[in-house]
Chain A
Amino acid sequence: MPPKAAPAARRKGPSFKPPRPVKPAASTAAAKRAPNATAPRPAPAKPSAARSGFHPVTTIVSSDEEQDAEFDDLPSDIDALMEDALDEEPTPPQPVALDLSTPPIPAPLLVRLLHHNFQNENTQIQKGAMNLFGSYMSIFVREAIARAKDERERAGRSGGGAGSRFLQVEDLEKLAPELLLDF
């Protein structure tokens, strides 16, 4: 359990269930360390690094107003709870604005694709799990496109053919191995 200290402190986003014993322990540990030796540095540094990988996705996606409006009442008091719990590094959960505005793959199609590929025809999937898988694939597609864009820009900069704005198969070829390792 001790190795969990850092991740627990950082993963405060979903932390609105108080009954977890790990959380208080982690925060007190952090507090104890603080006076001794400016140690809290590494902890804040890590989350930003971890998160940065997904930034492009976040920025692309953040356009679902109606979704936000729908959830307005809930997140507000969730936030209040969280700030009570621990008040270091109050980062808003940015990727919350994720997906659902326009999922790249509509849910019905995704269900069919999934069921087509089940080996056992009796396999079923819960609705919540299906939604979650939808988010997963949505992230996958967006990430692929974002990385392809990145590749393209790099190719354009390094002198290639005047950097056409068209994403090429080569871009995808370059990013595919790493992408697949990440998912």
Chain B
Amino acid sequence: MADHDEANEREERLKSALWYTIGQFVDNEGAEDFNATPQFIGALTELVYTQIQNAAKDLELFSKHGGRKVINGDDVMLLTRRNEALEETLKRELDRMRAADGRGEEQRPKKKGRPTGMGARGKGKA
């Protein structure tokens, strides 16, 4: 039981940190433009937290499905499988990071194309 409480407490602390950081972000982002009620910040925090929770589970399962213990970039790209525009944006981001890291990174197998399994998804409409 003590274990459980501890986990809960840690979750609460993490959520508080997230709440604080998101509050800061919204304040900075909309300094003169707009503002947000505290309730909005709270709700957004919950939303983001839930999204991270889901993503964590997904990533874990993706890597496990790939027979790996370590989550890699392809797993993250899989998160975007339902949104082409997002996939494109993230891929560009990935390329940019890779370029920043020095091009040596590129010889890592693929990663440039989507993971091969995804062809089945029929992403190319038409």
Contacts and interface: CB of A to CB of B under 8 A. Distances in A.
Given A98-B89, A123-B63, A180-B51, A133 B76 contact: yes
A126 B40 CA distance: 33
B125 to A, nearest CB: 7
The main secondary structure of chain B at its interface with chain A is helix
Given A129-B76, A136-B55, A166-B36, A13 B48 contact: no
A54 B47 contact: no
A40 B38 CA distance: 49
A183 B83 contact: yes
Interface string A85-106: 0000000010110110010111
A50 B88 contact: yes
Interface residues of B, number: 71
Given A116-B10, A165-B35, A169-B43, A135 B93 contact: yes
Interface residues of A, number: 76
Contacts of B90: 132, 135-136, 139
A143 B94 CA distance: 19
Interface of B: 10-11, 14, 17-18, 21-22, 25-26, 28-30, 33-37, 39-40, 43-44, 47-49, 51-53, 55-57, 59-60, 63, 69-73, 75-77, 79-80, 82-86, 88-101, 105-106, 112-113, 122-126
B10 A6 contact: no
A143 B27 CA distance: 15
A132 B55 CA distance: 12
Contacts of A17: 106, 112
Contacts of B97: 128, 131-132
A78 B10 CA distance: 45
Nearest to B41: A167
A6 B125 CA distance: 9
15 contacts: A14-B92, A113-B49, A117-B56, A118-B60, A128-B105, A132-B73, A132-B97, A133-B79, A136-B80, A137-B55, A145-B29, A145-B44, A169-B43, A182-B83, A183-B83
B34 A119 contact: no
A131 B47 CA distance: 21
Given A125-B70, A132-B93, A13 B88 contact: yes
Interface of A: 3-7, 11, 13-14, 16-17, 20, 50-51, 53-54, 60, 70-71, 74-75, 78, 93, 95-96, 98-99, 102, 104-106, 109-110, 112-114, 116-120, 122-126, 128-129, 131-133, 135-137, 139-142, 144-145, 148-149, 152, 165-169, 171-173, 176, 179-183
Given A60-B29, A123-B60, A129-B76, A71 B71 contact: no
